[in-house]
Structure 1
Amino acid sequence: MDQSVFTANSERVRRQNEQPITVIIANPPYSAGQKSANENNANDHYETLDGRIMETYAATSRAAHKGQLYDSYIRAFRWASDRIAGINREGKGLIGFVSNGGWLDNIAFDGFRKALCAEFSDIYVFNLRGNQRTKREESRREGGKVFGSGSRSTIAITLLIRDPDADHQGTVHYHDIGDYLSREEKLEMVNEAVNGEEFEWRTVTPDEHGDWLAQRDDSFDRFAPLALGKLKPPLGLFATYSLGISTNRDYYSYGYSKTEVEKNIRRLINTYTSELVRWKGLDKLSNIKQFVIKDIHLIKWSVSLYDQLRKGTRIVYSDDYLVKSVYRPFTKRWLYYDPHLIERMLKNANLFPLNLLAKADDPHHVSEQGQNSNELDAVIKASSLPFINRVIDVSGVGNTGFSCLMSEEIICLDAVQKGQCFPLYWYEPIDDSMKVPEGELDLGDAPTLKPGDLIVEAKSGERFIRHDAITDDALRVFREAYPSNRTLHADDVSKAKEGVFYYVYGLLNSPEYRERFSTNLRKELPRIPFAADFEAYQLAGRRLAALHVNYEKVERCLSIDGGNDGRIVEDWSEGTDHSDPGNVHKLRFGRTAKTQDNPQGKDKTTIAVNRNVSLHGIPDEAYRYEVSGRSAIEWIMDQYQVRTDGKSGIINDPNDWVRESGNPRYIVDLLESVVTVSIETMKIVDSLPPLNEQTNPSFWPMGW
């Protein structure tokens, strides 16, 4: 027991802690704490126990986020391990847990796995599988949930044997129950194992990363890193990058209707302001979380918003913060882009400065001279740029399957799983207060421009330096790796770095790359090999980027001869205006006979838009292109439906976006365009040559 918690009976607790215990058997709880700052059910803090987790499991972990190490069941492992070891750390004994098995292969638990090997002579793990947070075939392979509806997690039986006198340490014995088993079949196998049926254990040798299962390909470490973690030298290929936007209040901050987002945000800000007034009149030692109103219909609190209230920060609504963004693959929504209401802004303000995003609404801005000029007074207007930025959004560490997606608008954290955004450019604000008045001596305080830099002026008059995000070292490495490539050796440095950027996007879409390094890509950020054919990959990257950012404008996959050309046929109800299909509530697949391979009886060649129109003849090929485990078509079907948030009551209706777009056919046209995008994407991807990666050039930056 933790004496820091049970202070009233500390002497009795001390005596109990001194008594040896040799066997601990349990099914510990799986709680990971509260899901929202509007709730008051955070895990209790145990100072001594959490301190032990920090100095053992967390100390050896390479994971960026270690919060899961304080989940209740991991705390139970830590407590039981220390209790068996005893005060003098010489105890012998056994621990038997039936628990969440997420720790077996999750990057966040690398330090936990290392500690088990260091503290126990033998570790036996019987993996019962059942992870229903997976999708499709992988979900079916995981089989039935051992606890029925009680858990969607992997379940594992773990036996830990501690024997300091053993002639070995940290031997891992592992048994996987197998694929496609029902709950009943799994329980029968457990029963047979208990009754002494033959049972085969596989000895697992942990690698240097603390991985037991699905170990990485070490050749991956020889490739060029996109990033090296912290944004300070040494850098990877990119000078900067950022997680996607995380608001912690998506149903308030995002929406298909600009008007509805404004209404919801105004209600939230008004509630915050009234709470700010009340808070200012109180003793600042009060518990702010218990003080504030927590009506989810009025406000959604978060750690950042609590901090701003505590500091007395005033928040004022402005229409300028309403911008278009990518919320999910091939799905745009309005976003309220106020840093006060973004939980984790990180570097997004440098990738998509708010004042530059106003360009689309100002057709009167015209281009001026000054591209690649070293004169700060020679600028190019933001409105003359083809786009403010492009980012390659890649699945972050801990993903369940790697994906990437190009965007030229602000992108949500969950557009791809745990998305990290690697930009073509980044923007640095110019402090014009430092500008030397005419006639005075310039002492050199003005910023200097490097080759490729560009001065950009926003509608507001604010000026920025647009820097290339690909580093100088990265360009030098690529030029040495490909000495005869014209793109890389162009006189225009910005154009040369652009070639590297699109090469990266082309390579990240390579099926060979994704398959060979699938485990690495789940557990670390991508590293980029030097493929034998640079030009093929960079041209593929450009073509893929054009498809993925311009998906709304791509030619629709619409038949002109009744479907004989293998394209989509629109089936309209009699008398319906083909230019206006009407409101869409939920897109649905057609129906067909249920089979073992298609247990839900979905006919994916047909999508019913509403009672007025259905689409027939959707090619099977269109479903091959997937982002984050779901086809692009199915992302459209998932996102373009009317939804009501169960807690706040906020309604998000894609028909509002349709009305604001001025195109009543928007959703129908979008589906038909995304079918083309999907088919053309797979044509490009399938045509990529083998990697046949080259050896690294002689110049190789320190830390890579």
Structure 2
Amino acid sequence: MDTLDNVGFQKTRRNQLGFNFGLGFENAQRIQRQNEREISVIIGNPPYNAKQKNENDNNKNRKYPDVDRRIKDTYLSVNKSQKTAIYDPYVRFIRWATDRLADKGILCFITNSSFIHKDNFRGFRKVVADEFSDIYLVDLGGDVRANPKLSGTKHNVFGIQAGVAIAFFVKQPQRKGQQARIHYASRPPIEVATDKLTFLHETKFKNVDFDRIKPDAKGNWLGQTDNDWKNLIPLVSKVTKATKNMAGEDALFKQFAPGYMSGRDEWVVDFNNAQLTEKAKLFAKVYHEHTSGSKEFDTEIKWSETLKSKLASGDKMIHVEEQKIRTLYRPYVSSFLHNSEILIDRIGAFNMFGIGPAYIGFSGIGSSKPFQTLASVSMMSYDCLEKTQCIPVHYYNKNGDKQPNITAWGLAQFRKHYGAASISGEDIFHYAYAVLYDPHYRAAYAQNLKQDFPRLPFYPDFGAWATAGRQLLALHLNYEKIQLLPGLGTYTPAPPHPRRARGQNPPQSRRRGRHYFLQRGGIAQRYSDRCLALPPRQPLGLGMGARPVQGAHAQGPHHPRPLRHIPLRRPRRGRGRPTGPRLHRQRRNYANRGCASRPVAPAAGGLSE
């Protein structure tokens, strides 16, 4: 039987398995004897995968009502974190084992290291610190998602992308009711897996150099800060967003929302408006072929749990051709978006903001990358920055009336501090944008910005910062219309290969990797029909391969780096040097690659292969 189903013998036999499910009399007696005994040591390596990658796989994690209820009553009751992550199978096993362990015992698991580092495990960390007397952590690292410089096959002990840790949770009756003493040891970030395994094999537990950790009030074990963050003014907060009166406000802006999460970007985002319409029509056709009671789903389109719920509710796709708007899909990458509540899993509150006002987008809580911010007038994707959150300068209420997003509390704080009644909500909006770009601010509060929504300090000379923010905002919103600096120009990429224009791959012999796509108007042309041409740098007298630097710069803006000379093939044995059509064909191919048919002498004093 499944371990997580065994939460008490009587309940298991009556409600779940029973004899008719194959639980024979001998097995039932064995489980009963096991449940009657005290267990003081539990060791395991449970699975850890929070969710399936694709709903079409139809391979969801099982639900365990009793264990999930215990997680809700313990870990989630302390901190309302992301539920998907906290119901990871390895967390369920820790919850089950904690309840199963005797008053004196040891729980040892090899698991995902996310419970040590991630913000959505704050409640988990607080609860286990109350339930155990000592916690020993050996962090083996290897989290490829948090550190892209790592390789799962090289730096991870299991060859996976998730970080790995060994945790020892100890219960001692004499320390019951006291906070756990937390001991932490980690391996160097770039240490390879073989060295980590050698360390585990040769090092005795008593010789591990543990550091004592004292958790902060939020339940953070690592990444704690000691600065004036709490004294700063919150930019947004969930309390202010939910409050119905001004007395409950404690942040500058009332409304904010995450970027849209489509769950199927390949269906709802496209740089070609006509192609997006065709994809939406196909999606609607397949979607409407299903009924609310469908159990089988056509995998021609990408399903999600949210989409299946909408189908069960009888929602229909209408006005397919009229729901396209512009979106900031990635920084400075504008595309078309099919703004459909059916196609997009979670639009958030963007429809409340309306089309037109400026937004300040910033990376959300738990981001692995450094803090980012960017302004836009288009709907922003949740992955535009990272876990993108957006603040509008104004929004529309349920009656359609335009409302300033600045709170009365926030406006009073700034007017009181600077002694200027003329400060407006837009001035504070511009001031906030400038401060969020201040490198000193980002460096001083780097760790805080990963754990909390931004907060603003009161800088001297409010007017100068507001003016700088207004100018920076205009620059970022109108980056495609600004006048180029002297020495810069633009060019239009060459048209793509005819087969690629029809959505097909060109012949294998015509694929030239990165150079080919740039030459044929690949990535650059998809993003914009006007590309920036940087002025050629002065040659340094260095040769690259058999090609001088001067020749490299003469190739024009299509080549990000020079192509090496490719010499003519040597004649095959028994055949002479190519002549006539063969020679003409080879030289023509080399010319198409941007290469000379004969070696070029390197520049004087330069280096050559």
- Name the TM-score class by shorter chain: 0.7 to 0.9
1:293 positional shift:
2.1
1:135 positional shift:
4.4
Instruction: Give the letter aligned to residue 419 of structure 2.
Output: P
1:247 positional shift:
1.3
Correspondence for 1:293 among 291, 297, 301: 297
Instruction: Give the letter aligned to residue 532 of structure 2.
Output: D
Correspondence for 2:181 among 163, 171, 191: 171
Deviations 1:487-539 (A, max 9, x none): x616xxxxx21110011111111222222222221111111121223223222
Structure 2 match to 1:600: none
1:190 positional shift:
2.0
Aligned: 1:255 with 2:168? no
Q: Which has the larger radius of gyration?
A: 2
Give the distance between the partners of 2:83 and 2:533, measured in 1 at CA: 40
Deviations 1:379-405 (A, max 9, x none): xxxxxxxxx111111111211132111
**Map 1:526-605 → 2, pairs under 5 A:** 526-556=454-484, 559=487, 579-583=492-496
1:314 positional shift:
2.4
Give the distance between the partners of 2:73 and 2:152, measured in 1 at CA: 34
1:169 positional shift:
4.2
1:613 positional shift:
9.1
Structure 2 match to 1:677: none
Deviations 1:275-328 (A, max 9, x none): 13xx4xxxxxx5x4xx14231x2x222233222222222222332211111001
Deviations 1:537-589 (A, max 9, x none): 222222221222222223446736xxxxxxx9x9xxxxxxx64433399xxxx
Correspondence for 1:475 among 408, 411, 419: 411
1:122 positional shift:
0.8
Contact 2:434 2:465 in 1 (8 A): yes
Query: 3-state SS of the aligned residue for 2:474?
Result: helix
Structure 2 match to 1:181: 191
1:217 positional shift:
3.9
Alpha-carbon distance change, 170 to 611 in structure 1, aligned in 2, over 3 angstroms? closer
Give the distance between the partners of 1:42 and 1:671, measured in 2 at CA: 50
Contact 2:86 2:121 in 1 (8 A): yes
1:66 positional shift:
2.4
Correspondence for 2:353 among 346, 351, 354: 351
Correspondence for 1:421 among 390, 409, 414: 390
Contact 2:157 2:194 in 1 (8 A): no
**Map 1:424-503 → 2, pairs under 5 A:** 424-428=393-397, 430=399, 464-484=400-420, 489=422, 496-503=424-431
Give the distance between the partners of 1:300 and 1:107, measured in 2 at CA: 30
1:423 positional shift:
0.5
Give the distance between the partners of 2:93 and 2:192, measured in 1 at CA: 29
Q: Which moved more, 1:521-530 or 1:9-18?
A: 9-18
Correspondence for 1:76 among 74, 93, 105: 93
Structure 2 match to 1:212: 221
Instruction: Give the letter aligned to residue 417 of structure 2.
Output: A
Contact 2:281 2:320 in 1 (8 A): no
Contact 2:316 2:342 in 1 (8 A): no
Instruction: Give the letter aligned to residue 132 of structure 2.
Output: F
1:125 positional shift:
0.4
Instruction: Give the letter aligned to residue 547 of structure 1.
Output: L
Alpha-carbon distance change, 670 to 99 in structure 1, aligned in 2, over 3 angstroms? farther
Deviations 1:399-455 (A, max 9, x none): 11321111111111111111111001112364xxxxxxxxxxxxxxxxxxxxxxxxx
> Percent of aligned positions with the same letter in both sequences?
29
Query: 3-state SS of the aligned residue for 1:426?
Result: strand
Correspondence for 1:50 among 68, 82, 88: 68
Query: 3-state SS of the aligned residue for 1:165?
Result: helix
Give the distance between the partners of 1:105 and 1:500, measured in 2 at CA: 34
Alpha-carbon distance change, 498 to 609 in structure 1, aligned in 2, over 3 angstroms? farther
Instruction: Give the letter aligned to residue 176 of structure 1.
Output: S
Aligned: 1:105 with 2:117? yes
Aligned: 1:160 with 2:169? yes
Higher relative contact order (CA 8 A, sep 6+): 1
Deviations 1:353-398 (A, max 9, x none): xxxx5xxxxxxxxxxxxxxxxxxxxxxxxxxxxxx11111111121
Structure 2 match to 1:408: 377
Deviations 1:196-251 (A, max 9, x none): 6x432111011111111111346212222122215222232112111111111111
1:36 positional shift:
3.1
Correspondence for 2:202 among 180, 192, 205: 192
Structure 2 match to 1:669: 532
Structure 2 match to 1:516: 444
Give the distance between the partners of 2:485 and 2:151, measured in 1 at CA: 34
Give the distance between the partners of 2:153 and 2:464, measured in 1 at CA: 41
Instruction: Give the letter aligned to residue 258 of structure 1.
Output: N
Give the distance between the partners of 1:418 and 1:20, measured in 2 at CA: 45
Correspondence for 2:285 among 270, 285, 289: 270
1:53 positional shift:
1.0
Contact 1:30 1:100 in 2 (8 A): yes
**Map 1:628-667 → 2, pairs under 5 A:** 641=523, 655=525, 658=528, 663=529, 666=530
Give the distance between the partners of 1:404 and 1:545, measured in 2 at CA: 11
Give the distance between the partners of 1:159 and 1:229, measured in 2 at CA: 36
Alpha-carbon distance change, 329 to 398 in structure 1, aligned in 2, over 3 angstroms? same
Contact 2:255 2:392 in 1 (8 A): yes
Query: 3-state SS of the aligned residue for 2:419?
Result: coil
1:17 positional shift:
1.9
Correspondence for 1:29 among 35, 42, 47: 47
Instruction: Give the letter aligned to residue 489 of structure 1.
Output: S
Query: Alpha carbon RMSD of aligned pairs, Å?
Result: 2.8
1:141 positional shift:
11
Q: Which moved more, 1:250-259 or 1:312-321?
A: 312-321
Correspondence for 2:365 among 383, 397, 403: 397
Alpha-carbon distance change, 670 to 307 in structure 1, aligned in 2, over 3 angstroms? farther
Give the distance between the partners of 1:519 and 1:657, measured in 2 at CA: 34
Give the distance between the partners of 2:61 and 2:152, measured in 1 at CA: 29
Contact 2:143 2:156 in 1 (8 A): no
Query: 3-state SS of the aligned residue for 2:351?
Result: helix
Structure 1 match to 2:547: none
1:145 positional shift:
2.5
Structure 1 match to 2:104: 92
Alpha-carbon distance change, 349 to 51 in structure 1, aligned in 2, over 3 angstroms? same
Correspondence for 2:234 among 204, 225, 230: 225
Alpha-carbon distance change, 15 to 72 in structure 1, aligned in 2, over 3 angstroms? same
Instruction: Give the letter aligned to residue 366 of structure 2.
Output: G
1:23 positional shift:
1.3
1:127 positional shift:
0.9
Give the distance between the partners of 2:475 and 2:443, measured in 1 at CA: 23
Q: TM-score, normalization: structure 1? A: 0.66
Deviations 1:123-172 (A, max 9, x none): 00011111111345xx3599953335x31111111111111224864000
Stretches of structure 2 that go unaligned for 5 or more consecutive residues are: 1-5, 501-513, 536-609
Give structure 1 regions of 4+ aligned residues with deviation exceeding 6 angstroms.
none
Give the distance between the partners of 1:191 and 1:347, measured in 2 at CA: 53
Instruction: Give the letter aligned to residue 423 of structure 1.
Output: P
Give the distance between the partners of 1:186 and 1:212, measured in 2 at CA: 23
Give the distance between the partners of 1:23 and 1:559, measured in 2 at CA: 72
Contact 2:152 2:161 in 1 (8 A): no
1:30 positional shift:
1.1
Contact 1:146 1:187 in 2 (8 A): no
